[in-house]
Chain A
Amino acid sequence: MFILSLGIREQYEISLLQLILMQVNSDKILKRVLFAASLVILLIAAAMIFSLFKGSLPSISRFGWGFLFSPEWDPTQGREHYGALLFIVGTLLTSIVALIIALPLAFFTSLFVAEYFRGTKIAAIVSTLVDLLAGIPSIIYGLWGFYMLRPFIVSLGLSPQGFGVLTSALVLAIMVVPYATSLSNNTIMMVPNELKEAAYSLGATRLEVIRNVILPSARSGMAASYILAFGRAIGETLAVTMLIGNENIIPKGLCSTGNTMASVIANQFGEASGLQLSSLIEIGLLLFVITTLINAAGKYIIKKIA
């Protein structure tokens, strides 16, 4: 067979590789290669959960569920005790405040781009600029917050050093606006024109069209995009680390300092070992679980409306 096909090779001047591909069923091979590649991402995800869980086992077996509810984080040798409560509270608080600040910005920006100036050059420019916000690295937001925003907060007399929940939330809000707008834009644009035209023909003003036609049909898509933006805010590390103050307390108010889950990992991972390292990995596991749940909720809503 092979000798026969070698003859074919001379006859038709085809390359050896093509010959080999002719010998075996190339379709089947390619399908297998593609399938094998898909296993890689599956393995990465599974191994990720496994490694995070394995790494946090010492901490889990020592503190159990109490880890989630203990506000104490004490690495002192001899009386080590770790609890994640203050980081969980700090993370949720900064992210929620950030989302509240980002909401009006994102809401009106998507209306601007997808409704008021839809299809115009100015809308294209605005949406490109907003998308650029997503491209700026986290550490640059941190620097900007530290050197520009923090002195401003101090000059307002909100807090003596300028660090705290509010400062981080303001920067986070700017960071997540592009995530909140991009999907909202799409859902607003997907509202059928017939519906809008029907309302206009009845004499509705633009605001009334937005309120009675666009928002009811774009509502769930917009909600999903805000949820995804919230998920982004929770995982943000460096910008928050530079601005939250990194004090291991439960924030008492908007201007109080605090700490977040991502920040404590960034700050302490390098020097940690033993139980402390394991506790930090457990915080990482928590962060993974929380962001995955939030993203899954967002995706679920998107799927339902699609």
Chain B
Amino acid sequence: MDQTTTLNKKYTSSLSDKEDSSNLLIQSRKLKDRLFKIAAMVFSFITIGMVFLIIGSLLAKGLRQINWAFFTQVAPDTFSAMMAKSSGQVIPGGIVNGILGSIYLVALASAMAVPFGILIGVYVYENSKKRYAAIIRDIADILQGVPSIVIGIIAYIWIVVPLTKGYSVFAGSVALAIMMLPLIVRSTEESLKMVPETLKEAAIALGAPYYKVILRVLIPSSFSGLMGGILLAISRVLGETAPLMLTTLGNPQVNWHIEKPISAVPLLIWQFYNDPNMVDLIWSSAVFLMGFVLILNLTSRWICARKKI
């Protein structure tokens, strides 16, 4: 309220004192106002221009290489890529080892992170007034801020060295699961908060036991929020490269063994980037990865935005 009074003083005094020059003053105030609005619009358009610039330049370069073989064959070796390049053809092969690897890694990571994430989210929501739950929430926030490369180091220390004695699917999925966990905890808590308290009270009043209140009332009525949060978490880790570099290494073949190295789409992009013969494949893989991630991202927003209950 004191803000209003100070404003009051400011403008009444400025108007009465400078009666003569008030016209000029008003004009300059209006001009400043207009300039500021123009600045706001210009900078916002620069920001969204960047989105179009990045996505557009990727599409322009990458669509050429996307064909059927791109999704069915494994990544070519340097030699065949070089031969194709020197004769002006499209590089043979595709990224199926990366696609399957990414799906494998993310599925395994979700299997670890989703159940725990939801349980912890329910716990934090149910005990939100307790100090311990607040600490758990803070820890989730801290974990969310840990750089992905540090998570990679952790998975290397925990899994690669002692357990699988080498780069492995398991190590990579543990790294991704650690990254997903805090995201799911927070999104679960946030979407449970949206459930009206009355709904829960009605269930309790009917004598429903605690587990039924959670399983039959809380989770179903916040289901779209939960799904949205999980999809968002998946879309976040799907493009992660740094932790996989330290944990799964990459593999030129399709691999299903959990204790063996595996490839992933972002890892393949990194590999193509480091190989001058593979430049063309970089762009198509990048388009594929970005398209996949952005579609997941938009889907999760769409699910979250739909009215619940």
On A, residues with C-beta under 8 Å from B are: 21, 26-27, 29-31, 33-35, 37-38, 40-42, 44-45, 47-48, 51-52, 55, 104-109, 111-113, 116, 126, 128-133, 135-144, 146-148, 174, 177, 195, 198-199, 202-208, 210, 212-213, 216-217, 228, 231-232, 234-238, 242, 262, 265-266, 269-270, 280-281, 284, 287-288, 291-292, 294-296, 299
Report the Cα distance A153→B158, complex, angstroms. Answer: 42
A204, B286: Cβ atoms under 8 Å? no
Would A45 and B142 count as touching, CB distance under 8 A? yes
For the complex, give the distance between the alpha carbons of A129 and B29 in Å.
32
In the bound complex, residues from chain B placing their C-beta under 8 Å from that of A107 are 43
**Which residue from A40, A112, A136, A284 sits with its C-beta under 8 Å from B150?**
A284
Question: Does B153 contact A281, Cβ atoms closer than 8 Å?
Answer: yes
CA–CA, A146 and B48, complex, Å = 20
Contact A292–B210 (Cβ < 8 Å): no
Interface status of B187 (Cβ within 8 A of chain A): no
Q: What B residues does A265 contact at CB under 8 A? A: 149, 152-153, 246
- Residue B69 is within 8 A (CB to CB) of chain A in the complex: no
Task: Say whether chain B's binding surface is mostly helix, strand, loop, or mixed.
Answer: helix
Q: Say how far B289's CB is from chain A's closest CB, in angstroms.
A: 6
**Shortest Cβ gap from B120 to chain A (Å):** 5
Distance (whole angstroms) from the CB of A185 to the closest CB of chain B: 12
Q: Which residues does chain B contribute within 8 Å of A238, judged by CB atoms?
A: 241-242, 270
Interface size bucket, B side?
A: 35 or more
Distance in angstroms from B307 CB to nearest chain A CB is 16
A-B contact pairs, 23 of them (CB 8 A): A37-B119, A37-B123, A42-B136, A45-B139, A105-B43, A111-B40, A116-B40, A128-B298, A135-B294, A137-B239, A143-B58, A195-B3, A195-B4, A202-B8, A205-B29, A205-B30, A207-B37, A234-B147, A265-B149, A270-B249, A284-B149, A288-B147, A288-B150
B147: contacting residue among A137, A203, A287, CB under 8 A: A287
Q: Is B74 an interface residue (CB 8 A)?
A: no
Picked from B40, B143, B286, the residue with its CB within 8 Å of the CB of A108 is B40
Which chain B residues lie closer than 8 Å to A128 at the CB level? 298, 301
Give B61 Cβ to nearest chain A Cβ, in Å.
Answer: 8
Residues of B contacting A292 in the complex (Cβ-Cβ under 8 angstroms): 142, 145-146
Which of B136, B139, B152, B286 interacts with A143 by CB under 8 Å?
A: B286
